Structure 1
C-alpha cells in the first residue's frame, strides 16, 4: 500500500457520487433503485474513493469495504447516529443511516462481489500475482 493520487479514480468517484445523489433525490420514487441499487453502488463509491489516494491490493480493499459496510450497518442497530448527536435529516444522520437491515448487508455483499468480478476482468494480464493475487 502506498499513497498515489489517481485522477481516473477521482473522476469515477465523482461520477458515482453524482449517481448516488440522483438516486437519493430524483429516483426516490422508484423503490428498487432507492432501496437496493444505492446500497450496491455505495461500496463502489468507497472503492473508487480509496483508490483515488492509495495504491492497494484490490481484494484486500474490497474485503475491507465489505467489513466496514457491515460494521456501519450493525452500528445502525444501536442507533449510533442519534448517540453521536446527529439530528434526523442532517447529512451525517443520512450518511450513517438509522435503521439496521439484513437486506442492506446483502446489497453490500452483492456490490462487493460485482466489484470484485469487474476488477478481476479488467486487471491487465501482465500484472503480477503479488500485486493482484
Structure 2
C-alpha cells in the first residue's frame, strides 16, 4: 500500500499560501489581516503541505492540522521557545511564536472549518 506521493496541484496551492504568509509577515502591520487572516491561512498552508505528499483521507489531514496548530499555540503558552533556548533566533520566534492567544486558537478553528468550503475532497464521504 502506497502512503507517499507528490501532488503538483496541492504543492502549488501550498506555495501560493506560503508566499501570502511571507508577504503578510513582511509587509502587513494592521489589526485584522496579520493577526487573524494570517492564522487562518497558516492552517491551510500546513494542510496543503501534507496533502502534497501523503495519501491519507483529507479529513484526517485536516484534523491533524488543527491539532498541530493548537499544539504550537500551547507551546507558546508554556514558553516553548525559551525552554528550547531559541528566543534569540528570529526564525524560531516566527515559526514557533512567542505569545499565546485564544484568538489564535479561534482563527485556527475557523481555518479548519473553511477547509471544508475550499477543498471539495473533505466534503466527500470516502
For 1:2-13, list aligned pairs within 5 A.
2-13=3-14
Question: Computing the radius of gyration over CA atoms, which structure comes out larger, 1 or 2?
Answer: 1
Q: Distance in 2 between matches of 1:61 and 1:8?
A: 16
- Preserved CA contact (<8 Å) 1:82 1:93: no
Unaligned 5+ runs, structure 1: none
Unaligned stretches of 5+ in structure 2? none
Q: Distance in 2 between matches of 1:32 and 1:53?
A: 32
Find out whether 1:16 has 2:17 as its counterpart: yes
Work out whether residues 59 and 116 of structure 1, in 8 Å CA contact, stay in contact via their aligned partners in 2: no
What TM-score comes out, normalization by structure 2 length?
0.90
Is 1:114 the equivalent of 2:114? yes
Q: CA RMSD in A?
A: 1.7
Q: Distance in 2 between the 1:96 and 1:113 partners? A: 23
The 3-state SS of whatever aligns with 1:54 is: coil
TM-score of the superposed pair, with normalisation by structure 1? 0.86
| Secondary structure, aligned partner of 1:21 | helix
Contact 2:51–2:58 (CA<8 Å) still a contact in 1? Answer: no
Runs of 4+ in 1 over 4 A off after TM superposition: none
